[in-house]
Amino acid sequence: MKSESRNKVEATARRRGSFWKELPVLVVMALVLALVVKTFVLQAFYIPSESMENTLLTNDRVLVNKLVYRTRDIERGDIVVFSGTDSWDTYAAPQAPANPVAAFFRWAGTVFGVVPGEKDYIKRVIGVGGDTVTCCDIEGRVTVNGVALDESSYLYPGNVPSQSFFTAKVPEGRLWVMGDHRQVSLDSREHTSDPGRGSIPVDQVVGRAFVIIWPLSRATTLSIPETFARPASALAGAAPALAGFAGALPLFWLRRRWLARR
């Protein structure tokens, strides 16, 4: 009996020793996997400010899909995370920690959405390349290509669509973005003197925020409000008419020449 008991103790000790030997390998594998996922697939982001209230609150964590824009274009109404580098350069980039241990923990914090990125922003896309975004119409609303947006479902209670008047023609390959809490959001309206005149490059977009994952009491998906289908529908409806008009011009000209010869 004593021999069996001793053998069990020794086997347990060996298993424990094996676990501690394998633990560093498991940690390294987990970090490599986290890095791969962060780089190519999904990343958690921490919300550091009030600019997207009440859609997103300070200290919320959102999950960002980094693959979605490989399968479709960025759409009006998307909530996107993007880098302000070479576009919104108002703030100096913070210095990286000199201590390698501190630098590692900061990197790990950004991977898991515990700390904010150094120059990352999160805003809602209002206009895409080719759009004309204007505020305000006679009813005080933001318009996209002349179509008014009904922003009541996401605009911060008590806010007007914009405190300032503007008209922005969004260049191709760029986006006009605004926060849902308009009175405190330093968005495209506040960066018109920066490169891009407030718009941001599409290639600086990290991905689309599609779900709140923390706190659990606020966990929900982030869908595109229905109002953003209206500018797209208006453009789609105008396209056949414009094409028909363009096709009719040569026929009209040929008919005039034929009548003149008679």
Taking the alpha carbons at both ends of the chain, their separation in whole angstroms is: 122
How many Cβ atoms are within 10 Å of 144's Cβ, its own excluded? 24
Active site residues: 51, 123
Beta strands in the chain, from DSSP E residues, in sequence order = 42-46, 61-65, 79-83, 120-127, 132-135, 142-144, 147-148, 166-169, 174-178, 200-201, 205-214, 220-221
Peptide bond into 59 cis (omega under 30): no
Query: Contact, 199 vs 176, CB < 8 A?
Result: yes
